[in-house]
Structure 1
């Protein structure tokens, strides 16, 4: 089996050297050029998407040996497949003969994969098993063991979430996620049975830059009370709660990952318009408190959002999970799933699926609002003058809470752009670093 070759050193271009002028998070300013420039995007593919740990699957999607799904890591197509020993491999979806795609289905179960071009056949482990006119290869001294589907460098999982990275020098997944896992457990470990993804994957496209969407989920609750006001009123049947009036809320980040949340317990779930879901969460809360503690029990359905850098996001309570797949500097393909507790009643699972479709799907009342905003935030940056104007990312400066007992870098209040600043700082640090060992550590409040 062939591992992916070590990533070549990436030269720092003049554009990368000038990033300090385009992104200065100490001053809270940003240039729209980073959302439109093709050269910046190519560097992102190499220095971020070919290096970072990326979400590729949930273990519930691959229950049996031979189960597989296809996805992308950046713009590299991969196959995620369950092995006989129940481990998971991630294989590049390209035949090592002429590079043709070997698996065209989105998901299924297979004993192997066969290339349509010259009949090269691979096992679920990626090993080359045979090919059309195999005798001709044998006569040329061909060694099948050297021509299997290439594997990514590392695969690991956390609470059912499967991540992969192309970079053999990347830190472990545990180190990469750091203390943000304490918050991930609010949705992915609130119940002893764990979680599962419902149904298939919803795929849609938007003409926006991937960072615009990822940053929205990393910490932009500010837009909710304005952009989503009419939709929230329609779903709730009454006035919308003012986030600024909630008794306790925070923004927490770590190495570009961000989780912003209130302690209201039910706000996100409530806008699904399904009272049975609210009742389910209220009844489950004592068990969650016993499992995760009283503080996190207040977050299970609360007004909150999260992005794991660079492009994996979710909304607790509304239970929509998404990956912003880059398709150029001004286009994304959005992969969306609904996550539920595996032990939840089937009626509750169906209500969650239906509620998520009503709110966060291509025709959802919230997603249509977001999509339009994200597209125009991107399109304005094509203007040769407009792309250089300063964009403000300074809300919540000096709200860092150095004495907080919560994990991560903690900031006071959800209406705060601390997580956005941390996201863009990590983005810039990755682009300006030649390897993982060069990436600065800006935790412990160093970026306030």
Structure 2
């Protein structure tokens, strides 16, 4: 397990009190989890330093030497394709004085060399060379095998690469659990899988990372109200959500709220070629996924893989909510499509995401303002001590003959948000992974 970032006594005391902050059964959440500095520091240790965090898609690093830089929590990391063809993830911090060894966002390289003293590292993070090696002799002799950049475990699911710094964490397959069945709706509805379109939008929000993550995991309740003007401008009316044909589904804190309307999200991209493509492929989707899942491919929906990987089916955008303190989040956004889709659809999806879920997008501007205000208002000493209510749909759990995981009737619900915060509390209060329950 990662060494505690806090003093053992204060760490244990804080962890023991976490269960008092989240009452998922009643739907009550303490606002302090969005503001308190000590809680945030414990999150970095017990969530981001030991969960599986998305770092790259296979198509972003097609060649040996390809790399990108990102963060896991607030740890800067390099993700690269090594000479062995595998994806490696390691700290972007020299083992000599701690300087960054790579300042580029992405590129291709044979080595990563620190510009402070010239220590050079391979594509797998191992120490290859140092400047003036003759200065290290006798007792000063370097053991290069022990001075490489600290590596994370890397495991993949259908082209999506995740990294984890905790050697005791379960495998990625166990971590995702039954939610893999839902991920296949977008990752495996076509035999060619998906590809990420070149480019990555980065933006900053003055909000706690949990607000956008819980919004994507299950908040369709806000859509007809927050996005009313945009929806009416696009459709002339608001899309109809059918409670009898829509659901919340979750497993281990991962969740997807969805209808079965097939093209509800995709329609907001305002692109006839995208709708035509989906209609043309509808029978193939059903053959590959089954009728129910095929109806989710472009439907009104949103989802989040715990803790901070969100996506929108139909809009074809992945995003990560990267914490930069309890009141700041860096958003990374990508556009994807099926690898076998016509080439001309790349620009259609790119333009559609810019219209809807980019910093200037008609939906994202609405959401960002809300996320920031939800965070900022908690500066008040009295306000911060109050609870938030997440009680919608407490009695809505159902058994479904086809859907997997924990299933709840109606996508206008708060079941997935309660599951998200229960997972958060389970991890925050657990000393080791062995203490984290499967839900």
Give the TM-score band, short-chain normalised.
over 0.9
Deviation at 1:404, TM superposition (A): 4.0
Distance 1:112 1:251 in 2: 46
Say if 2:141 is the partner of 1:146.
no
> 1:197: which partner in 2?
196
Within 1, Cα distance between the matches of 2:288 and 2:85? Answer: 27
Displacement after TM superposition at 1:97 (Å): 0.2
5 Å-filtered alignment, 1:14-413, equals: 14-139=13-138, 140-152=140-152, 154-236=153-235, 238-243=236-241, 245=242, 247-402=244-399, 404-413=401-410
Q: Quick check: 1:225–1:242 contact (8 Å CA) kept in 2?
A: no
Show the counterpart of 1:7: 2
Q: Are the equivalent residues in 2 in contact too, given 1:156–1:162 (CA < 8 A)?
A: yes
SS of the residue 1:101 aligns to: coil
| Other structure's SS at 1:150 match | coil
Question: Deviation string for 1:405-425 (max 9, x for gaps)?
Answer: 311111111011000000001
Cα distance in 2 for residues equivalent to 1:268 and 1:356: 11
2-structure distance, mates of 1:65, 1:374: 39
Provide the TM-score with structure 2 as the length reference.
0.97
Match of 1:424 in 2: 421
> Offset of 1:176 from its aligned partner?
0.3
Gaps of at least 5 residues in structure 2 are none
Unaligned runs of at least 5 residues, structure 1: 1-5, 444-448
Structure 1 residues 287 and 403, CA gap change in structure 2 (3 angstroms): closer
State the aligned residue count. 434
Q: Deviations over 1:145-181 (max 9, x none)?
A: 22111211x2111111100100000000000001111
CA distance in 2, matches of 1:253, 1:93: 34
How far apart in 2 are the matches of 1:275 and 1:179?
A: 34
Q: CA shift at 1:234, angstroms?
A: 2.0
**SS state of the match for residue 199, structure 2?**
strand
- Determine the C-alpha separation between the residues in 1 that align with 2:296 and 2:244: 13
The 1:374/1:34 distance shift into structure 2, 3 A limit, reads same
Deviation at 1:233, TM superposition (A): 2.0
| 1: CA distance, partners of 2:220 / 2:381 | 30
Q: What is the CA-CA distance between 1:281 and the residue it aligns to?
A: 0.5
CA contact (8 A) 2:243 2:409 kept: no
Measured in 1, the distance between the counterparts of 2:243 and 2:20 equals 37
- The 8 Å contact of residues 246 and 264 in structure 1, kept in 2 or not, is answered as no
Q: Is the 8 A contact 1:197 1:340 kept in 2?
A: yes
Deviation at 1:306, TM superposition (A): 0.6
The 1-side partners of 2:129 and 2:15 are apart by: 45
User: Structure 1 residue 246: deviation in Å?
Assistant: 5.8
Per-residue CA deviation, residues 35-83 of structure 1 (Å, 9 max, x unaligned), is 0100000000000000100000001000000000001000001100001
